[in-house]
Amino acid sequence: MSTLQRIGAITGKELKQLSRDRLTFGMIIMIPLLQLLLFGYAINTVVRHVPIAVVDLSGSAAARAITEQVRVTQVVDIVASFDTPAEAEAAIVAGEIRAALVLPENLTQRAVEGEVLGQWLVDGSDTMVGSAILALRNMPLHLEAGAPAGAYRASDPSFEVALFFNPERRSEVNVVPGLTAIILTMTMILFTAIALVRERERGNLELLITTPVRSLELMVGKLVPYIFVGLVQISIVLGLGHTVFQIPFNGDMGSLAVITLAFIGASLSLGLLISTFAKTQMQAMQMTVFILMPSILLSGFMFPFEAMPKAAQYIAEILPATHFIRLIRGVFLRGADVSQLLPDTVWLLVFTAIMLAVSTRRFRKSLD
Amino acid sequence: MAEPAIQATGLTRHFGDVIAVDGVDLRIPHGQIYGFLGPNGSGKTTIIRMLCGLLTPTAGEVSVLGLDIPARAETLRRQIGYMTQKFSLYDDLTVMENLQFLGRVQGLNRSGRRKRIEELLHRYNLVPMRERLAGAMSGGQRQRLALAGATLHEPTLLFLDEPTSAVDPENRRDFWEKLFDLSDAGTTILVSTHYMDEAERCHQLAILETGHLRKQGSPETLMKELEQRVVEVSGDNLRRVKERALQLPRVQSAAQLGLDLRVLLRPGPGSPVDYLQQALAGEDLSFSLARPNLEDVFVASTDARVDR
């Protein structure tokens, strides 16, 4: 099989070059690690340790219990206490605290009657902080309803409290699987786009096209090594996500492998298409960014797909990352099967086939 | 021989408004070393690329080894070797890896590959460099590796595009010995160059200028049949003499070579020596008729004024 021999020759050559190219090799490992740390730790929409103050007008045991409950959520740090709401307001304006919890004089009576217990004064200038406090608002109220003040003990199991912590963790859980789509989009497209353009830039292509290698053989031979690269990267992200960030893995490995390979194929063939347009590695990089930006912003990784305007949704539907984010969240988190997610999977496979066909057609073995 | 290795008629190639090659006719017989001599931009590389099927001619017919090009370029690729002007093997692969890669791509089987690569390593003195990265080798070594790569699949036709541009004279002579070995073994070789001494070694020569074929023939014939005459002038103040000579209508070029001024004269009535003697009266000079060399042929046929 001379076709297999030629594809094998190109793949083997590509792997050897890759293993000697320390920069690229380092990028294969460092890009997923860095992104995981950035998105996992630094870019965290979960708000913690917001500085607040308590204005306790009642001086009751119930007030102390509520204050303690608010403190242990870790969403807030109680950094001050004031005697009047006006003082708290001034502190908010001054930026010393983000919010203040005001507990009225008749707190115990209100608790017994099931009324609103107190008031949060919130600095709305930071929407993230604002919504964090808004979420907090419900907690003591629900707990209080119908229960005596003495029920405030840390050991008390409470459904409402659990509900409060869950969304906090879910946002992290959402980020890491989605991150695989972004990392693969970035590296897979970039590496293949550059791989072919580099041969052209260095003059290797002129020799290569005078050999009996066929266009499709060259394309496939170039893609294969990066399939392994993609699998290594996704293993790093999901492996660390699972162990360090405690992302639950609810799906099965087979489905994960199928959707991942489909997405890697789609990204690689898109990179190949870019390489048939780009004349220099610089151009290839710029075109990759052109694909990468909408993939980050529109794919549902950053913002919910449903919340985007219709036009943006149409664009997002073209991008492989959009489909993969749906797939991986489905398989990884919801434990879905590939058979339940056929439309997105098939779409990725069709995309791969079309891109490969167009690239092969566009890549003619000539210098015209 | 009945059928030539390469036959081209009216070969033309445009790049936008630029005409790189204009109506070139070629007939290159089997088994010869055929040279393209021309300055940079004369269309040498473009012609070679069109003959390999890498570029589509804007106009003209090409037949290489009996195959219509570019229509049957894929079939041709198994029978030709191409050594590009710029080193086009992989800098980040070793000598062995480069040759192994080419061998696999060319469809040689494992044992055939091993045997052939060993043979080439010995022939081109690459045995000690086996594990050396191509990017870490000298110009001469890289050129030998490139030749080994181009001849790996034993092509019957070899295209060499300025193969010695990055090589010192010693290595260049050595390289030509290898080319004659290949030629003796029956390989047809087409080589482009802008060195006169290399051009002189070719069996046949085509002189190219700005995309036109100016002259074709063996170096000896070209030199013998030159219509222009060469006069060597020696004496004092040669730089001033040169300026004066270049004003004369019959003088095509004048170039200082060591202590002599080499003057190329267009054909005309009377002896060339007498003509110059009269025209340059008043200077203390001696004149002698010289045998034309290839550079004279080149200057005469390309109309380039060598006035350095």
pLDDT of A162 above 60: no
Determine whether the interchain pair B104/A6 forms a contact, defined as Cβ–Cβ distance below 8 Å. yes
| Rounded percentage of chain A residues whose pLDDT exceeds 70 | 83
Closest CA to B18 of B180, B205, B211, B160: B211
Q: What is the pLDDT of residue A134?
A: 67
User: Count of alpha carbons within 13 Å of A247, Cβ hemisphere only?
Assistant: 27
Task: Indicate yes or no: CB of B54 within 8 angstroms of CB of A212.
Answer: no
pLDDT at residue A128 in the model: 62
**Does residue B70 have a cis bond before it (omega within 30 degrees)?**
yes
Q: Is pLDDT at B175 greater than 70 in this prediction?
A: yes
Would you state the pLDDT for residue A320? 94
Among chain A residues, CA nearest to B85 = A203
pLDDT of B1 > 60? The answer is: no
Dihedral angle sign, alpha carbons of residues B183, B189, B193, B196: positive
Of A5, A6, A366, the CB nearest to B55: A366
With a cut of 60, say whether residue A45 has pLDDT above it.
Answer: no
Mean pLDDT of B137-142: 90
Q: Are A188 and A267 in contact (CB under 8 A)?
A: yes
How sure is the predictor about B22, in pLDDT bands with cuts at 50, 70 and 90?
A: very high
Chain A residues lying within 8 Å of B86, measured CB to CB: 203, 206
The answer to whether the Cβ–Cβ distance between B107 and A204 falls below 8 Å is no
Return d(Cα A273, Cα A351) in angstroms, integer: 12
Which residues in chain B have Cβ-Cβ distances shorter than 8 Å to A364? none
pLDDT of A42 reads: 58
Beta strands B67-69 and B212-217 are: unpaired
Q: Which of A210, A366, A368 to mutate to test the interface with B (most CBs of B within 10 A)?
A: A210
Whether residue B128 has pLDDT greater than 50: yes
pLDDT in tens, B187-226: 999 999 988 989 999 999 999 998 999 989 999 999 999 9
The whole-angstrom distance between B105's CA and the closest CA on chain A is 5
Q: Give A324 or B40, the one with higher predicted confidence.
A: A324
Residue of chain B with shortest Cα separation from A16: B93
Q: How confident is the model at residue A106 (pLDDT cuts 50, 70, 90)?
A: confident
Contact B30, B1 (CB under 8 A): yes
Mean pLDDT of chain A: 80
> pTM of the entire structure?
0.77
* pLDDT reported for residue A129: 64
Residue A154 has pLDDT above 60, yes or no: no
Residues 6+ apart with CB under 8 A from A359: A219, A269, A272, A273, A275, A276
Q: Would you say residue A139 has pLDDT above 60?
A: no
Within 8 A of B87 by CB-CB distance, chain A residues are 203
> Which of A16, A202, A211 is nearest residue B97 as measured by Cβ atoms?
A16
Task: Indicate if the pLDDT at residue B244 is higher than 50.
Answer: yes
Q: Is the pLDDT of residue A66 over 90?
A: no
Q: Is the pLDDT of residue B303 over 80?
A: no
- Per-residue tokens: A14: 């590509």
Q: Does residue A368 register a pLDDT over 80? A: no
At A1, the pLDDT band (50, 70, 90 cuts) reads low
Interface ipTM > 0.85: no
What pLDDT is attached to residue A165? 26
Q: What is the pLDDT of residue A150?
A: 42
Question: Among A10, A17, A212, whose Cβ lies nearest the Cβ of B107?
Answer: A212
